[in-house]
Amino acid sequence: MLLKHIDNLLDGTPVDNSTDETNPTMAKTPTISITTDLVQLCKGEDTVPCFLKNDRTIACIVADGHSGKGCTKTIDDNAESILNTVLANGVEAGMNVCANLCSQKHSGAMVIITRFDIPDRTLQIISMGDASCTVYQHQQLLHSQPHHDCENVAKMWPEEAATIGVRLQPPQPTMFPMPDGKTMVVQPRRAYFKWRSGHLIQSASFVGHQGLSRLKPCMTEIVVPEGPFHMVLATDGVFDVVHPEDRLPDQ
């Protein structure tokens, strides 16, 4: 999913607020476009990317199912209800709805939800798992939402992971992209968490997976500076092979 925000003069002329100082009091109106796409290459467990908007706010959701399609179908079937909750009450409330709907499913899903307040330019992001949200402005990476992967959990949430009883598994050769957009590097990295039940999952946070402990959602709120920007929401099928600072998403 790609969200693009551009400020225009009332006659439709695009304006870059970061550089246009000719008439800062001139009335401007935002133009926002959203593009979604879904390509199912393997198991068909991704949800359909969805958004909902009103005069002030835009809510978006992207999710990546795993170990079955139960959570995927539940999220797809209830996407409008989840997004209406996000518009009315914020991303945390929306994630709670999503988690409650999937609580009895044996399958799981990585979920990311955003809420952008157009007048205030406030962006809320909440995530469980390794679905990605990256925000770009002036061809620079402004924000990348942390994943609940082994590397980040070891750095950011080691005590919380120990409390819920998940263990990081030994490193194994892992391929990951470089910012040049051309190079993939293979290095030993921890990739899986193991639960006492024997479950092996690449993320320590998710919805679904009835009975499994998990880390709390990662919540972020940023104010996007004046000027055009764009936001990319995607699952690991994209960002496992495209670095967040690659020129492809930052254009």
The pLDDT score that the predictor gives to residue 43 is 67
Alpha-carbon span 88 to 66, nearest angstrom? 29
CA 163 to chain centroid, in Å, comes to 25
The pLDDT score that the predictor gives to residue 9 is 45
Percent residues over pLDDT 90 in the chain = 64
The pLDDT score that the predictor gives to residue 21 is 44
The pLDDT score that the predictor gives to residue 15 is 54
Tokens describing residue 233: 């929401």
Of the candidate ranges 14-18, 27-31, 200-204, 223-227, the one whose mean pLDDT is the lowest: 14-18
